[in-house]
Amino acid sequence: MKKILFILLAVVVVGSSFLVGCGSAKAPEKGGTINAASADFGYESTDPVFYESLWGWSFYDSLLRWDEKGNFIPGVAESWSLDGATWTFKIRKDIKFHNGDPLTAADVKFSVDRFGDMSLSKNPWSYYISAAYNKKDSKVLDEYTFQFISERAEPAQAIVFAWTRILPKKYFETVGQDAFRKTPVGSGPWKFKELISKTSVTLEANSDYWRKDEIPAFQYYKEFMVPEEATRLAQMKTAEVDVAFPITFDRMPDMVKQGFKTISLGPPQTSSMCIQGTWLPGAGAASDIRVRQALSYALNRQEICDTWYAGFAKPGGQFYMYPGCFGWTDKLAVDSFDLNKAKSLLKEAGYPGKFSNPTIHYYTTAAGQDYALLLINYWKAAGIDVKLDVVDSTIYTSYFFNFTRIKEGDPNVGWMFNWTYQSFFNSMYHSANMYTSVGVHNVGNDPKADELYKKAANEIDNKKAAQYFADFQVYVKSLYINIGIVQADNLVLYNPKKLGKWSGRNWVSYQDALNGIQHP
């Protein structure tokens, strides 16, 4: 069975590089090009409101940033404050966009307002700075001061401000949205150069980047879309590419033996099962918490770590939560493997005879079906009937990410999907999407969960907020609507003959780390 390493959406990381023959590869001269091969360009988004622009993290700057410990630090805003429900941002005065225009508070207002426009944005973060959530107003006080006024104080909104990339208002309005997406302009360490659909994307180093210590050492970054893993591996063997992603976990040990180096980028990825619409009559067997608990106890997580993940993982994987993150508590540890307990829970629930439709559907794309079959075999051993539905990426996305609330009669009521993405320092809003009654993943619908979430999100004192968020996480774990499986390393394999030290923002993501790659 082929073992596939799933990567993040939100903010995703994995990579690799050459194999056999790297010993004779010539190190690049100063400047040069980082060549990468990726399996899929997704939506090919260059605009943060069009789902998510992963490339955009390389050529835009965000309003706030995160340090290695997940604390907020200055971004485009050199300082900020929250007074009551009013955020005030002081904007740096030395930032220029790639076209030479100065970045001002007017650009910040334009970008924040646009990002929070729910009639336009498909980015899941947008809702949390929208009028539909708690936005009251936004203002430019002077050329370098911007204010965002909320209906209520919510410190967690800093997360969204750190997700908001700043676009040039004048240039955007001059060329229009369609033209902007074809030739985007930002203020980041890389400049957009060219996108050939489903073929390649090229970025060029911004030698005038305002953060002088973060100017890329390489002149260009070129990423090729190479769907077949065998082809990506062949390209690495011949040193055609220096980094490639994703790769299967079981390839890593052999590749390391052949000369690769590894680096861990960002927080660990977590893998969990999400069950949608369990409160609706049509959810069938998935509506019974004992059946959902059986799904958890039937999984031999250590075996999954040892085999599928080739030892690069450990049992864990509660949705976006890992030891050391905001709100972590040891009470979030996953269930131990207990097949007898799983069978006992099913018997207690009257499964399968009690249910008119005892089958639980598990939907995924073609890329995820091998991992799905692995899990299904564990459930089959416990006596749970799980049907695999392989759907195309458009349907897959519409099922697990939908602002329209799931309702009786929808095809995916009571269905499961796997979530394997990089976790995050503070998953407050990720958790709202997964566990609350307004979440776009249509998994949560519990009044107490909503109440506990609001208590954590609205708490001004950070220490209390962390405790309240932990209480919320422990409660939603007990609902078994999201079942943690494993926590895996975010390892990148690269060609050390072509690429040297990775000295960038390695704690965030591949895109954030990209400009810090040095020559060997």
Residue 244 contacts residue 17 (beta carbons within 8 Å): yes
Is residue 63 within 8 Å of residue 161, measured between CB atoms? yes
Measured CA to CA, the distance from residue 22 to residue 16 in angstroms comes to 13
Tokens of 261: 């180096």
Regions of the chain short of the pLDDT cut 70: 1-30
Closest CA to 347 of 396, 282, 297: 297
Residue 302's DSSP bridge partners are none
Q: What local confidence, expressed as pLDDT, does residue 250 receive?
A: 85
The position carrying tokens 């030739």 is: 183
Cβ pair 158, 72 in contact under 8 A: yes
The pLDDT value recorded for residue 30 is: 64
Output the 3-class SS for 168-214: CHHHHHHHCHHHHHHCCCCCCCEEEEEEECCCEEEEEECCCCCCHHH
Q: Which two tokens stand for residue 13?
A: 């990381």
Q: What share of the chain is helix, strand, coil (3-state, %, to 5)?
A: 30, 20, 45
Determine the pLDDT at residue 249: 87
> How much is the pLDDT for 247?
82
Write the burial class of residue 137 (CB in 10 Å: 0-12 exposed, 13-18 middle, 19+ buried): exposed
Instruction: Round to the nearest angstrom and report the end-to-end CA distance of the chain.
Output: 36
Nearest to 428 by CA among 401, 402, 458, 400: 458
Q: How many CB atoms lie within 10 A of CB 263?
A: 17
Specify the pLDDT at position 394.
85
380, 360 Cβ separation under 8 angstroms: no
Strand 269-275 vs strand 190-196: parallel, antiparallel, or unpaired? unpaired
Query: In angstroms, rounded to a whole number, what is the distance separating the alpha carbons of residues 417 and 265?
Result: 25
CA distance 313 to 334: 14
Edge-to-edge strand ranges of the sheet holding 416-422: 313-315, 482-488, 269-275, 416-422, 360-364, 386-390
Tokens of 286: 């998935």
pTM of the model: 0.83
Tokens of 17: 């590089």
